[in-house]
Amino acid sequence: MSGCTMGGQKCLYKLKSASVHFIAAKHTAPFKRYEDDINFRLVSYHFFTCCHVSAMSVSESWYAIKDHGRNYCNLYNLMEGSGLTEARGYKEVTSDFLCTQRSSANCTIY
């Protein structure tokens, strides 16, 4: 991601594996070193003109309950950093039920 010379949460991603339809990564929080597992599933359709991405981020720490939407921000910051949030047709579908504390997340602090 751009702007990572000073470090910070947006820079502490590590690619674990990648294939045509699946990406696995890990994010480490800079201060307490909490780790989150990130998975993306990619499916093309409409003769490869569109792509549907399902993603999830799960904290390895069972007690990371009130983390201010860190798992949501893990995913959003990757999408924003790649420029995909500005791509034609980009649409995000989620909720607080699917992604805890999403509506109160402040991804600029991550």
Per-residue pLDDT of 59-71, as tens digits, reads: 887 666 666 788 8
Return the pLDDT at 40: 94
Angle, alpha carbons 87-67-78 (nearest 5°): 20
Total domain count for the chain? Answer: 1
pTM (two decimals): 0.77
- Domain assignment present for 55: yes
Across residues 16-32, what is the average pLDDT? Answer: 88
- Domain assignment present for 3: no
Task: For residue 47, give its domain range.
Answer: 9-109
- Domain assignment present for 74: yes
- Domain assignment present for 1: no
Indicate left, alpha or beta for 49 from its phi (over 0: left) and psi (-120 to 50: alpha): alpha
Return the pLDDT at 110: 65
Nearest Cα neighbor of 40 from 66, 14, 58, 22 is 22
- Domain assignment present for 54: yes
- Domain assignment present for 66: yes
Identify the band that residue 17 occupies on the pLDDT scale cut at 50, 70 and 90.
very high
Return the pLDDT at 25: 95
- Domain assignment present for 20: yes
Nearest Cα neighbor of 30 from 63, 70, 62 is 70
Sheet with 13-18, side-by-side order of all strands: 13-18, 22-28, 35-45, 50-59
Inter-residue contact 34 to 59 (CB < 8 Å): yes
